[in-house]
Amino acid sequence: METVDIALIMLAFLLSVTFTLLVIKRLNILGIVSEDLHKKERPRKPKIGGVGIAAAFTISIVAAYFLKSSFVFAIILLAFLTEATIGLIDDLLQFAPWRKLVLASFGAIPLLLLIPIEPFTIVILFFAVTIASNWTNMLAGFNGLESGLGAIMLFFIALSTPMQNAQIILLIYAAALVGFLIFNKYPAKIFPGDVGTLPIGTVLIAATLIGAPFYKLAILFIPHVVDAILKFTTFGVFSSAQTKPTEVRAGFLTPPKNGNKSYLSLSRVILKFKPLREWELVSVIWGLEILLGMVTIIV
């Protein structure tokens, strides 16, 4: 890795830390906050912190584009910004789940420049972006979970990617997420919102178009697949506002009692074995993702 690449990765991290600090202050002033559902006192924290990640990633990728003169950086950035914009609008307007599912596919439009213009290939691309972006948005809800998982996935898929430009894009994004994670980890001072989670899946799919092995990405998505299957089979495509949140008892997370608003998810299956503190549950899921990342290195 060249010195300029390391500098770009560090730039993304430092910008993410700086912008997140600014966003926390500004969103608190504006009152753009939401409840932290897994705390007894349910404190209200800024809820669209992903705008800081987006700003850091954008500046860093623009710098990479001018330094390396590769059009790939511009295409990936456009796809990222498209998805981030959809996420931001959803954070503010609260789309119905089916409408967000459809709109998430728009992140695939810039990526058409990276594939053969064939009907079947186009359909597969739109399907993949829609599913992946929603998966990285669904396995969520606990302090640091989404940003940490995203950084882990981006890091390991970067290690498996032979193309240097693809590696740099993925590591820049991972660094921006880690900068945000400093404030998003337990106890969170800010939440990413859809603007922070939807683009992760889009960029991961984009990486497979520029050299990342798809089968290794599939391995990294196993927790998301399990989570999505459990949720879909137990409550279908509904808003999380229509369901019971995971309960907190004496500082430990436990699945809610059975009822017509209860459902299964990866986190709730884990909690059925043993109640855990929030940071412990997140650590377990991170650990699972790291193990899968190690598998991608040896297969």
What residues does each domain of the chain span?
3-213
Is the model's pLDDT at 240 over the cut of 60? no
Tens of pLDDT, residues 159-184: 999 888 999 999 999 999 999 999 99
Which of 60, 63, 108 has the alpha carbon at shortest distance from 82?
108
Q: pLDDT category, 260, cuts 50, 70, 90?
A: low
Residue type at 139?
L
Q: Are 220 and 289 in contact (CB under 8 A)?
A: yes
Structure tokens at 49: 């912190």
| Tokens 């500004």, residue located | 26
Within 10 Å of residue 261's Cβ, how many Cβ atoms? Answer: 12
Tens of pLDDT, residues 131-160: 999 999 999 999 999 999 999 999 999 999
C-alpha distance from residue 147 to each of 197, 200, 211, 243 (Å)? 7, 9, 23, 23
| Tokens 């290690």, residue located | 159
pLDDT at 183: 98
pTM recorded for the entire structure:
0.94
Percentage of the chain with pLDDT > 90? 78
